[in-house]
Amino acid sequence: MAFFEGSKMTAGYGDGPNIINSCTIKVDRGEIVAILGPNGAGKSTAMKTLLGLLNLKSGKVLIDGNDITNLSPQDRVKKGISFVPQSRNVFAELTVKENLEIGAFLRSDNIEKILNEIYDLFPILSEKQSQIVGELSGGQRQQVALGRALMIKPSVLMLDEPTAGVSPIVMDELFEHIIKVKKTNVAIIMVEQNAKQALSVSDRGYVLVTGENKFEGSGKDLLNDPEVRRSFLGA
C-alpha cells in the first residue's frame, strides 16, 4: 500500500458531470509523482479531491493506511498534507520570514529550528528573509511558497504547476529544489504542464485523459513511450 493514495476517485463540481472517473493516484515518501495530461483532463480536480476541496462521489483517500475521505481540508493539513497552489501562493506585502512564519500556524513549538532548516534548503530565503516578497523574482517567490508549505514538516507535499510562468533556467532551478525536498523523505505530487521536464525528475507519473488514468509508469518509461511522446510530449 502506498503512503498516500487516492483510490478510484470519481468527482465533479456541484451537479455537473464528473471531471475525474475512477482515477487513482499513489505516492510514497521520498518519491516524486507527476500528474500530466491535456487541458481539461482533470489534473487539478484530482489534486483538489486529494486535498478535500471537492467531495468524492465514489472512491477514497488514504494516508499511511488511514482513511481520510471524510476529513475537511484543514484536518488533512493536520495529518501532514501541504499544498502549494499555482497562483496567490504568497503574501506579497509581507517579508520572506513573515511568510514562512505564517506557514507554521499549526505548530506550537519553537519554530527557529524549522526556519533554519528551510533556510538550509533555500539559501536565497536566508539572504532575503527581511525583504518584502512582492519585490522578489518569480522563481524566488516560488521558493517562498515551497518553504512556507514545508513549515509544518509535511509528509505529503502537493504542487499545482510549480514552474508556471518562469523561465527555463528558473524552471530547472525549481525542479532542483523539489528534488532536495524529496530527499527529506517527503512524498511529492505535482501537476505540471512542462511534461518532459517533470517526467525527467519524477520517479513515476500518471497521464490523465478525460479524467481517467490513460498511462502510468516510471518517469523514464513514460518519457520513452512512443504514444505518450506523440500525444503529450510533442515528439
94-115 per-position pLDDT tens digit:
999 999 999 888 776 778 899 9
For range 189-212, the mean pLDDT: 93
Query: Is residue 72 within 8 Å of 81, Cβ to Cβ?
Result: no
Domain regions of the chain by residue span: 1-80+156-235, 87-153
The CB-based long-range contact list for 98-102 (8 Å cut-off, 24+ gap) reads: 99/133, 99/144, 99/147, 99/148, 100/125, 100/129, 100/144, 100/147, 100/148, 100/151, 101/151, 102/148
- Tell me what pLDDT residue 235 has: 54
Task: Enter the pTM of the model.
Answer: 0.92
- Tell me what pLDDT residue 166 has: 82
Q: Which fold has domain 1-80+156-235?
A: Rossmann fold (3.40.50)
d(CA 89, CA 34): 20
d(CA 108, CA 104): 9
